[in-house]
Chain A
Amino acid sequence: EVQLVESGGGLVKPGGSLRLSCAASGFSFTNVWMTWVRQAPGKGLEWVGRIKSQVAGATTDYSVAVKGRFTISRDDSENTVHLQMNDLKSEDTGIYYCTTDYSGSLDNWGRGTQVSVSS
């Protein structure tokens, strides 16, 4: 059974940093692209960014809203993907979901981790 478990969320002041992690199990992590999606309170879904598999170069793409502030990385030895978030803003508040990415359709989702940015 595919499992994705996010962690690392919390309350942080504007300008602060957080590092989210997503532990994956139940599938061959090495071959899978991973994507982060967020959802602001009471709002819709917003793509944050993705990291391709190592065989595809482990390249990353980001939304304009987070480019330059967020970094996605992966540790295939630990079956984990990370989202390093710097210079956080109030508009970054929301639930952050880790997903598997099958050519862009997001076929498995974690339960999410809450990030709150407030002074």
Chain B
Amino acid sequence: DIVMTQSPDSLAVSLGERATINCKSSRSVLFGSNYKNYLAWYQQKPGQPPKLLIYWASTRQSGVPDRFSGSGSRTDFTLTISSLQAEDVAVYYCQQYYTTPLTFGGGTKVEI
């Protein structure tokens, strides 16, 4: 199985400041034939289901604000919130879909 490791477990960021979440996979999730990274990011607010933010490591899902961005390749990935808003308080998960079983990181809690 591909193990996904997120850091930090939690972080507190001031409103308007940048938040950076890291995700490392135990092996590469870059598919050679299409040069795509099979990596997604989700946001889960309390009492709600997760919401897809980013797929293919850097493609924003429709409707996701452009303050959210994803970067990285192969085994190292980053989710950046460029200017934290109050509504961004949530737990964020990375997930690889390079192979089954699909696996998630342990989550990063973002607070103000």
Contact = CB atoms under 8 A, between A and B. Distances in A.
B49 A110 contact: yes
For chain A, which range describes its interface: under 10, 10 to 19, 20 to 34, or 35 or more residues? Answer: 20 to 34
Tell me which of A35, A50, A107 has the highest count of chain B C-beta atoms within 10 A of its own C-beta: A107
A61 B106 contact: no
Interface of B: 38, 40, 42, 44, 48-52, 55-56, 61, 93, 95, 97-98, 100-107
A104 B97 contact: yes
27 contacts: A44-B93, A44-B106, A44-B107, A45-B42, A45-B93, A45-B107, A47-B103, A50-B100, A50-B102, A61-B100, A63-B101, A64-B101, A102-B55, A103-B38, A105-B52, A105-B56, A105-B95, A106-B40, A106-B52, A106-B95, A107-B52, A107-B61, A108-B52, A109-B50, A109-B51, A111-B48, A111-B49
A47 B98 CA distance: 14
A47 B42 CA distance: 14
A94 interface: no
B49 A112 contact: yes
B14 to A, nearest CB: 26
A61 B97 CA distance: 13
A103 B98 CA distance: 9
B50 A103 contact: no
Cβ-closest 7 pairs across A and B: A104-B97, A105-B55, A109-B49, A47-B102, A105-B40, A45-B104, A61-B100
B1 to A, nearest CB: 8
Contacts of B55: 102, 105, 107
